[in-house]
Structure 1
Amino acid sequence: MPVNILFAAKDERWPQYEGPLRRALERAGIEDYVLSRDIAPEEVDYIVLAPNGPVQDFTPYTRCKAALNLWAGVENIIGNPTLHMPLARMVDHGLTRGMVEWVTGHVLRHHLGMDAHIHGQDGQWRKHIPPLAEERRVTMLGLGELGAACADALRYLGFDVTGWSRSQKDLPGIRCLAGEDGLKEALERAEILVLLLPKTADTENLLDAEAIARMPRGAIIVNPGRGPLIDDDALLAALDAGHIAHATLDVFRTEPLPQGHPYWAHPSVTVTPHIASETRDETASQVIAENIRRGEAGEPFLHLVDPKLGY
């Protein structure tokens, strides 16, 4: 009997993923399979899905062994009351490396003060020597797969890196903090703050007015994590007051960011269009295929979501 794999994402994703998924399944040794966008729900063994795709009611998928998410974020699906099978989030080499490159690039941009040279070509010779990376304190909020990889890359470049997570972590060369008191210390050290936490009830508006006030005056905020981590009004007020020197934001509560939003016109905000890390079809397909191989072999699935934690 073939393994029936339903691809449940938006129409434009099918031509992007069909070839990579077939190649990955065959390399994983899965030869007898059906990969389709149209399989009777009661015959589906695995759902490869995007949370904004066509499957929103999982009730009919009675024999499905796992839902395999194409995205790292699961906040739009984990609360679905019909989700009765294990859910695996996307943890993918391509996604991780893309995030490392984006975060490292923007941290270096702010550390070196590159904007003044890129946008300040007015004939004035302004010589500014930045500190060395070892003299710059960077805080990473979130030490999961993405946060840990970014923190390690920044540590390798010489930055003084502090990481904070809900549960205590131990990463070589990185000051790891946890808990409420740890968060306060992490913020107080944050000359450059990078947000890579998931969106949960506990993390929404984590960076509110009180948290921002703990940061050093003139600090930088870089958010490629989730838009709702930041209280937008509090951030705008801190930018206007000069307490925060600049915010580079890749994620927002509403996407695309509405045309009239204050972030677009604010001189101390950089908006990027949710490009920090996109799922790569080839590497993501390998992750999906490996989990299907594991399911068929009776082995534990990788990257399962804990419903209690929300990620």
Structure 2
Amino acid sequence: MTTNILFAANATRWATYEAPLRRALDAAGLSYDLSPEHAPETVDYIVYAPSQEISDFTPFKRLKAVLNLWAGVETVVNNPTLRVPLARMVDHGLTRGMVEWVTGHVLRHHLGLDAYIHGLNGRWTHNVPPLARDRRVSVLGLGELGRACAETLAGLGFDTAGWSRSARTIPNLTCLHGADGLTAALERAEILVLLLPDTPATRDILTAATLAHLPEGAVILNPGRGTLIDDAALLTALESGRVGHATLDTFRTEPLPPEHPYWAHPRVTITPHIASETRPDTASEVIAENVRRGEAGEPLLHLVDRDLGY
């Protein structure tokens, strides 16, 4: 029997994903019909991107699962009409991209490279950075992406701690959790990396009150979600020197409006949501494996916990 797979994303993404998805589905040995135009009542699986137009899943009577193209599921997880399993994207290419972005920016701030990039203007300033072992880094969020970044930084010798809402044990990594653990993670963070999902429990995790726990001059990297930061509080902390620099890849409104004060702030670096992107080839393999599992009656990979929101 043919498995009908609806690709629910815009035309540009269909042009990008069609060939790698077909290759991956063929390699999985599946009999399938992949299309962006299946009638709802005939669909078995939806490959889902937040930019598409489906908001009511009720007409999809045969639907077995929704397979999200991105790691973030905040736009669909609370949809009351979605009554089938939802899988988020955990993709090797996405993970490696995030590790490289985080590592690059941690090293940038650790080594003080901005001073040399912008020029010393003839001043021979001999500022030697500490070794990585003497630089304390905290990573908020120990999911797939946070754990990979924290383990990489620890492997480079950084004094690395990770924080999560519930207790975790990760070899060679200091793991903190809960409210007291969050305070401890902030208090030690010369460089703070935000890799939490967007949930009611994580929104505005950085406010004036929590930012006050950071060491003077701390650096913040946010490749996670724009909703994690109270923007007004961060701007105040930058002006006071509590935060020395913020490198931001995600924002509450994207694209970031031209009039936003982040653009002109001398201690803010903006990257346009490029820290990590789903790679069509590797993402297609993840999707094909989940379709294979679904058709074989096996558990799906990377299922979302609706109560937790990720």
TM-score under structure 2 normalisation? 0.99
Segments of structure 1 that go 5 or more residues without pairing to the other structure are none
- The Cα of 1:121 is off from its aligned counterpart by 4.2
| C-alpha separation in 1, matches of 2:76 and 2:170 | 30
- The Cα of 1:54 is off from its aligned counterpart by 2.5
Q: Percent identity?
A: 68
**1:51 and 2:50 aligned:** yes
| C-alpha separation in 2, matches of 1:295 and 1:265 | 49
Aligned partner of 1:261 in structure 2 is 260
Kindly provide the amino acid, as one letter, of the partner of residue 300 in structure 2: F
| C-alpha separation in 2, matches of 1:29 and 1:166 | 40
| C-alpha separation in 2, matches of 1:205 and 1:192 | 18
Aligned partner of 1:14 in structure 2 is 14
| C-alpha separation in 1, matches of 2:42 and 2:217 | 58
| C-alpha separation in 2, matches of 1:213 and 1:255 | 27
Instruction: Give the SS at the match of 1:12.
Output: helix
- The Cα of 1:167 is off from its aligned counterpart by 1.1
| C-alpha separation in 1, matches of 2:55 and 2:121 | 54
**1:232 and 2:231 aligned:** yes
- The Cα of 1:122 is off from its aligned counterpart by 1.6
- Give yes or no for contact 1:10–1:54 (8 Å, CA) kept in 2: no
Range that drifts further, 60-69 or 46-55 = 46-55
| C-alpha separation in 2, matches of 1:215 and 1:180 | 15
TM-score under structure 1 normalisation? 0.99
RMSD after superposition: 0.7
Segments of 4+ in structure 1 off by > 6 A? Answer: none
| C-alpha separation in 2, matches of 1:106 and 1:220 | 10
- The Cα of 1:172 is off from its aligned counterpart by 1.2
| C-alpha separation in 2, matches of 1:130 and 1:296 | 55
Q: What is the number of residues matched between the two proteins?
A: 310
Kindly provide the amino acid, as one letter, of the partner of residue 297 in structure 2: G
Kindly provide the amino acid, as one letter, of the partner of residue 157 in structure 1: L
CA offsets 1:206-238 (integer angstroms, 9 cap, x no match): 010111000100100000000010010000000
Aligned partner of 1:241 in structure 2 is 240
Kindly provide the amino acid, as one letter, of the partner of residue 171 in structure 2: P
Aligned partner of 2:27 in structure 1 is 27
Kindly provide the amino acid, as one letter, of the partner of residue 175 in structure 1: T
1:59-74 mapped onto 2 (5 Å cutoff): 59-74=58-73
1:87-236 mapped onto 2 (5 Å cutoff): 87-236=86-235
Segments of structure 2 that go 5 or more residues without pairing to the other structure are none
**1:285 and 2:291 aligned:** no
| C-alpha separation in 2, matches of 1:144 and 1:261 | 30
